[in-house]
Each structure stands twice: as structure tokens, then as C-alpha cells.
Structure 1
Amino acid sequence: ATARARNDGYTLMLTADSAHVIGPALYKNPGFDPVKDFTPVAPVATAGYVLVAHPSFPANTVAEMVALAKASPGKYSIASAGNGTLNHLIGEMLQKAAGIQLQHIPYKGSAAAATDVVGGQVPLSVQSLPSAIAFIKAGKLKVLGVVNEKRVAALPDAPTIGETIKGFGQAPWYALFAPAGTPAPIVAQLQAEVARALEHKDVVEKLATVGCEPFKGTAAQLAALVQSDLPKWSRVVKDTGATVD
């Protein structure tokens, strides 16, 4: 709908990297070109992602989980929101980086996956903080590690996976796009307004409540991010053999 809209600055799209740069690698015909059909406006936020476990899971850290998985390849399962979803791909990347083998259990959505980990049906899952933070704060899920490259403000004491597995880290993002050909002055004005909004204390606090943080940047930086992420996620999809249900 955004790709077909008038490029007058009045139709904008807030989207996630999972839809914008991973979707095109998963679907033969996604219905849009992530580069040609849109004008990048500004990044908005990064989402916290975590490797979580049921409280009874014998490992409390990434290192302990890796040791368990190496001792019993394929014994432990990991839930995702479905084949080809971001948390599935992150889980596959984690297994490759750690040299372990987990059994992938795809669900129809993050909520269903998180619910079954809370219920003890599956021991592990990669979850976004917006999906999992309520369970974490209630003690129904425990965090083994943060997927992001840096520790997240919502869980300052939780170590990153990269602190154990060097070089591992992802920064899932949300960003604002306009239809292709949106005039530069309009983009500049919108970018400035996004930057100003991300300085507001209430915006920062609201993002933090759902495990997100402001992601400040320019339209040019967002364009470069899209260009670098497209081949990266295409390789991940190919390497994992991920398919969409």
C-alpha cells in the first residue's frame, strides 16, 4: 500500500527489519522491492531480543546451555514464531556460532511459542522483549543471554550472548519509510521530526517499557543499513534452509 501511495509525505510506513530485509529473501514474490519502492526516512528504534528458558532448565547462562547442548546434540528443543521468522533465524545463527544442535519447534506466532516455554513444553526460545518481558518480570521465563550487540536498558544486568560467543550479536530494528521518489525536503523535515521525537523523555520511557531503545540516524544511514542487511539476511536464509509455512 505504501509503495503504491502518492509520494507527498502523507503516507508513511513504520516497519521492522524482519519484514523489510528478511521477507524478500523468504518469499519468491514479496510484492515489493525493499530498495526501489521506498524512500528511507529515518531509523526509529532497536528491539531487544533474548534467549529465554523455562525456569526449570538446568542452564542459567549461555555457556552452560552450550555445554548441555554439546553433551547431548539434538536433545533440547527451541521454539520460534514460525519457520523463517526473525527469532527462528537468530536461533539458527546461534546454533551455528556455538557449534550446537537444537531441535527447532516452529509455532504460529511469538505468543504461542512463549506460552509453551512458560508452560514447560519447550525449554528454550529466542523472543523479542516486547513478547517476553512480562513473563521475565513475573519470573516465568529466565534470560540466558541478550541477542543484541550491547546490553539492553530494560535488562541491564543480563549479559549479551556476544560476551560468551565472540562476534555474535544482532540489532533488530524498526524504521520509517516513504514511497519512492518522495522529495528530499519532505524527507529532511520528517527525519528531523523523528529525531526530535526520540529526544522526548516520554517516548524514550515508553520504548523502554517494551524492551526497545531509540535508534537515532539519518535517511542516508538507514539506506545504507538496508543495503547491508539485504545480502546478510539472504545468506542466513540460504544457509539455514529456512522456508515459510
Structure 2
Amino acid sequence: MSRLLSKIREESKQTWSLAGPAILTGTFQFSIATVTAAFVGRLGALQLSAVSVAQGVIAGFAYGAMLGMGSALETLCGQAVGAGQFHMLGIYMQRSWVISAATAIVLTPLYVFATPILRLLHQSEDISEVAGKYCGWIVPQLYAYAVNFPLQKFFQSQSKVWVVTLVSGAVLGVHALLNWVFVSKLGHGLLGAAMVENVSWWLINLAQMIYLLAGFFPESWRGFSLSAFQNLGAFGKLSLASAIMLWWVLQSEF
């Protein structure tokens, strides 16, 4: 019995050593939108309502879709690690970047035409108008998702999770500071909030790319390769299936 309990403790420790940082990373990154809403709330009820709708409907749908597309890497990278083909991890990540970027292009009209879409969903005219403007300003955030999620899955497949967690936590702090400066003190309003949100997401990507290119992954990252453009059809189908599966799970929870 003691051996069983010891084994359970050991397995739990290993699981939480990966799950804990991943949970924190998700919390930190999700909190970027929460912090933005908190500062926007000081601008007025209309602005808060518009940003909440933009984040919850348009950006929220895009976030889930992009996360799901990137989640295909979990299966492929796990298989590559199990087979000892570490060099394929970098190739798979680059393919995911290509597929995710294409997905971002497809989703861009949701941001561009957010105002009429929200009207069709029976949002008020004022909220739809302001939310549509905000969505147009945060289009760069959509493309940041395309870079971010494949990077995260690449790091997670090699148990390199704490660096991503620390980066996300640090950027969240910077995000709050920038909102205080540009929204509260300098009075740049919704445009300032949108630009700060874009900058914060791309800061996360910049830090992760520096970590990737710094030489810590000699076996799994061998530079950019044209192999990333091979088998995109099959890769895209797997990514789409992952996105649909994740969306279905999220819908069942709500």
C-alpha cells in the first residue's frame, strides 16, 4: 500500500510540474483581456460594454479557434518525442504557423465586419459601432495568436513550460502598467487600450522567439525550413479536427 501511495505521489508531482505552469500561463494570458476591461471600465459604461462584447464574441471565438488549431501539435509532437524524432518538432511547429496564419486570414473579416455581425446578433447600435471599431484596432492580436499557440505547444512537448509562464506573468504586469500610463494618465481611451493589448501579445511572442532562437533546443530547432510547406493538407485537416473538438468541449462545459 505504501508503494502504491508513493507511486501516486510521484505521478502527481510529475503531472503538476507540467500542468501547474500551463494553468498559470493560460490564466496570465487570459487576464490580459480582463485587465484591459478593468481600465476601459473607467472610460464609461458604453466603452466597457463594447469592449466586453468585442472580447467575448469576436476575439473570444478567434482565440478558441486559434488555440484549437495549434492544439494539433500536442498529438504530433508527442508522437515525434516518443519516436525520438526531435528534429520534427521544429518542422511541425512551422507547419502549424503556416496553418494558423492562414486561419487568421480567414478570421480577419470577423474583425473587419464586427459591427454588422454584432447587429445581426441583436446588439444595440451604439455597442455594435464602438465594438466594431475596437475589433478593427486589435486585428494584430489575431495574428499574435497564430504565432503564440504553436510556440507554446512546442515548448510543452519538451517540458519547457516555466519560461513561458514567467514570460506571460511578466508581460501581464507590463500590460497593466501600460494601460495605467496610456489609458488612465495620458487619456488615449479605447485606441490606447487596443494598442496596449496588441503590444502585450506581441511582447509575449517576442520573448518566446528569443528563447527559441537562443540555442536551448539544438535537437528540435534547426532553423526555418521549406519542409514546413509539405503535407499542409493533412496537417490542416488534423488542426481543423482539433479546433472542432476543443470548441465542442468548451460548448459542452457552458
Task: Establish whether TM, by shorter chain, passes 0.5.
Answer: no
Give TM-score scaled by structure 1 length: 0.25
Higher percent of residues as helix: 2
Radius of gyration: which is bigger? 2
Scaled by the length of structure 2, what TM-score is found? 0.24
